[in-house]
Amino acid sequence: MALILLIIALSTIAHIAQGHFTFVRVKADGEWKSPLQYIRNKTSPYDELKFYEGNFLYRYYNWPTYIIDRPESVRCGRDNMNHAQGTEVLSVKAGDTIEIAHQREEPENWTDDMFYNCTDDRGSCFHKLGWVQDFNHPGPLLIHLSKVPSSQDIRTYDGSGEWVKIHTLGLTNPRYGQPLNWTLYRSDPPHITFKIPAQTPSGQYLMRMDLIWSGATNEYINIGDDGSLAQMYPSCAQLNIQSESKAEFPKGVKIPEIFQPLEPGMTTSWDMLNNQKLDENYTYPGGPLWNGEDLVVDKPVVLE
Ligand SMILES: *[C@@H]1O[C@H](CO)[C@@H](O)[C@H](O)[C@H]1NC(C)=O
Ligand SMILES: *[C@@H]1O[C@H](CO)[C@@H](O)[C@H](O)[C@H]1NC(C)=O
Ligand SMILES: *[C@@H]1O[C@H](CO)[C@@H](O)[C@H](O)[C@H]1NC(C)=O
Ligand SMILES: *[C@@H]1O[C@H](CO)[C@@H](O)[C@H](O)[C@H]1NC(C)=O
Ligand SMILES: *[C@@H]1O[C@H](CO)[C@@H](O)[C@H](O)[C@H]1NC(C)=O
What's the CA gap between 224 and 222, in Å, rounded?
A: 6
pLDDT of residue 194: 98
pLDDT of residue 266: 95
**Residue 20 belongs to domain with CATH number:** 2.70.50.70
- Any ligand 5 atom below 6 A from CB of 283: yes
Q: Write down the pTM of the prediction.
A: 0.92
Q: What is the pLDDT along the chain (304 residues), one digit of tens a residue?
A: 333 333 333 333 333 344 699 999 999 999 999 999 999 999 999 999 888 776 678 899 999 999 999 999 999 999 999 999 999 999 999 999 999 999 999 999 999 999 998 989 999 997 666 667 899 999 999 999 999 999 999 999 999 999 999 999 999 999 999 999 999 999 889 999 999 999 999 999 999 999 999 998 765 555 555 458 899 999 999 999 999 999 999 999 999 999 998 899 999 988 999 999 999 999 999 999 999 999 999 999 999 9
pLDDT of residue 216: 85
- Return the ligand 3 atom nearest residue 115 CA: 13
Q: Is 264 exposed, middle or buried (0-12, 13-18, 19+ CB in 10 A)?
A: middle
Residue 69 within any structural domain of the chain: yes
User: What is the residue with the minimal CA distance to atom 12 of ligand 2?
Assistant: 106
Residue 69 alpha carbon to ligand 1 centre in Å? 21
Taking the CA of 36 as reference, the closest ligand is 1
- Any ligand 5 atom below 6 A from CB of 297: yes
Which residue out of 34, 112, 117 has the highest number of ligand 3 atoms within 8 Å of its CB and is therefore the one to mutate? 117
pLDDT of residue 225: 52
Coarse DSSP helix, strand, coil percentages of the chain, rounded to the nearest 5 percent: 15, 30, 60
Residue 301 within any structural domain of the chain: no
- Return the ligand 2 atom nearest residue 105 CA: 14
Residue 175 alpha carbon to ligand 4 centre in Å? 13
Residue 302 within any structural domain of the chain: no
Question: What's the first-to-final CA gap in the chain, in angstroms?
Answer: 41
Residue 196 within any structural domain of the chain: yes
Residues spanned by the domain of 224: 2-296
Contact 10, 54 (CB under 8 A): no
Residue 303 within any structural domain of the chain: no
How many domains is the chain built from? 1
Residue 166 within any structural domain of the chain: yes
Residue 304 within any structural domain of the chain: no
